[in-house]
Amino acid sequence: MNKPFFEQQSLKFGCTGCARCCIAGNDYFVFLSSDDAERIRGYLDLSVGWFRRRYLVKTVDGDPVLAYRDDGRCVFLQNDNRCRIYPVRPLQCKTYPFWPEVTSSKTAWQREAGRCEGINHGPGVPVATIRRMLKACMQAPA
Ligand code: SF4
Ligand code: SF4
């Protein structure tokens, strides 16, 4: 069996903090598991109702996602492009760009590089790190 794409060549990544991955639109949203939501709610010390009303919206399929402003910026993205809830950010944010669909092929990886300027820059990422991210994505609770 062929090795996965990310083991056939070293993947480089270095986040520049450009925040493009924090901007919703074109069917891109920050999805939340119930664990993600509860962790963030606790960090902000808010009631369940207030947190839901203020920080969550639903997609047309009914999935909860982080609310975003008119320009698509995540509700937690500050003016300086830093994340207000960085220590407890959703798994989707923690694992980006090492998602199964992005690391599945060179084509997918290169396509994502059109959105994320950190892809193909910076240091080579150890395979073990990529595997850990992928495992976290695959085991993410609903
Ligand atoms: S798009 Fe890429 S480089 Fe920009 S903040 Fe997100 S991970 Fe970092
Ligand atoms: S939660 Fe933080 S890291 Fe995730 S999209 Fe919002 S601002 Fe970006």
> Which residue ranges make up each domain of the chain?
5-138
Structural Rg of the chain based on CA atoms: 16
What stretches of 31-140 show up as alpha helix (H) in DSSP? 34-44, 48-55, 91-95, 106-113, 127-138
Kind plus residue range of the DSSP H or E element containing 122: strand 119-124
**Is omega for the bond preceding 4 within 30 degrees of 0, making it cis?**
no
Contacts of 129 (CB under 8 A, 6+ apart): 98
Q: Which residues line ligand 2 (CB under 6 A)?
A: 22, 30, 66, 74, 76-77, 83, 85, 89-90, 93
C-alpha to C-alpha distance for 21 and 35, rounded to whole angstroms:
21
Contact 54, 67 (CB under 8 A): yes
According to the model, what pLDDT value does residue 1 have? Answer: 66
Determine the straight-line distance between the first and last CA of the chain, rounded to whole angstroms. Answer: 31
Q: 3 CA distance to ligand 2 centroid (A)? A: 32
Contact 123, 14 (CB under 8 A): yes
Which atom of ligand 1 is nearest to 19's Cα? 5
According to the model, what pLDDT value does residue 25 have? Answer: 81
According to the model, what pLDDT value does residue 141 have? Answer: 72
- Nearest residue (by CA) to ligand 1, atom 4, is 18
Question: pLDDT tens digits for the chain (142 residues)?
Answer: 688 899 998 999 999 999 999 998 878 899 999 999 999 999 999 999 999 999 999 999 999 999 999 999 999 999 999 999 999 999 999 999 999 999 999 999 999 999 999 999 999 999 999 999 999 999 877 6
